[in-house]
Each structure stands twice: as C-alpha cells, then as structure tokens.
Amino acid sequence: MGKFNDWLADCLADGLSSMACFWIITSMVIVVLFWQRPNSMVGWITYISTAIFQASALPVLGFVSNKESAKLQALMQETHDTTMNELKLIGEDHDELRELVRQVHIKVKAGEVDVTVTEEETPSS
C-alpha cells in the first residue's frame, strides 16, 4: 500500500503542478463567469482570491518549483563531477609524491644524497 501511495502522490504532484493543469483550471474559472458573476465587490474579491489565486496560481507555483528543482539538481551534479575530477587529480599528485619520496629514501639509504642539517648563521645588522 505504501508503494501505491508513493506512486499516486508522485503522479498527482506531477499532474497538478503542470502548465496543462493551470490552463484547465484557469479555463474553468473563467468559463464560470459566463453563467454566474459575483454581484458585489466582496463577491468579486472572494471570487478572485479563491478561484484565481488559489486555483490557478497553485499549479504555476508547483511548475516553477519543479523547474528550479531541476536546475538545482543539474548544479549539484556539475559540482559533484567537478569535485570527483579534482579528487582524482589530487590522488594522481599524491601517487607521484609517494613515488618521489620512495626514490629519495632509496637515494638516502645508498648515500647518494647528503641529508645533514646545518644551521645557517643569521646576518648581523
């Protein structure tokens, strides 16, 4: 039952947040005015706030939210790909450094490199 509910919710969310839904609802809201119009200012305000803002605007808000979500997903994917590429390059650099350190260790053990530390005198003022 949970999978069905998830599927149904996804279908309803996609359908109700589409521009097709916006045009259907907006058409129904406007067509009603041919048969019955509000008679007073309060009636018009109520009609506009409930029919237009609540009915017609909600699908548009869902549609815009879906578009922004897709943009954010693309940005997150691009960020992920860039990060993974940088991590790969860092790994390659790390491998090169390990090889250099290994070569230095070999040369130090063979006595090819002088590793004695000496203190330099500071110049007098």
- The whole-angstrom separation of Cα 76 and Cα 8 is 27
pLDDT of residue 9: 87
Query: Each residue of 63-120: pLDDT tens digit?
Result: 888 889 999 999 999 999 999 999 999 988 888 888 888 888 887 777 666 656 666 6
- The whole-angstrom separation of Cα 60 and Cα 19 is 7
Please report, for the chain, the start and end positions of each structural domain, with discontinuous segments joined by +: 2-110
Q: What is the DSSP letter of 17?
A: T
Q: Which alpha helices (H) appear in 2-56, and where do they start and end?
A: 2-16, 19-35, 41-47
Residue type, 29: V
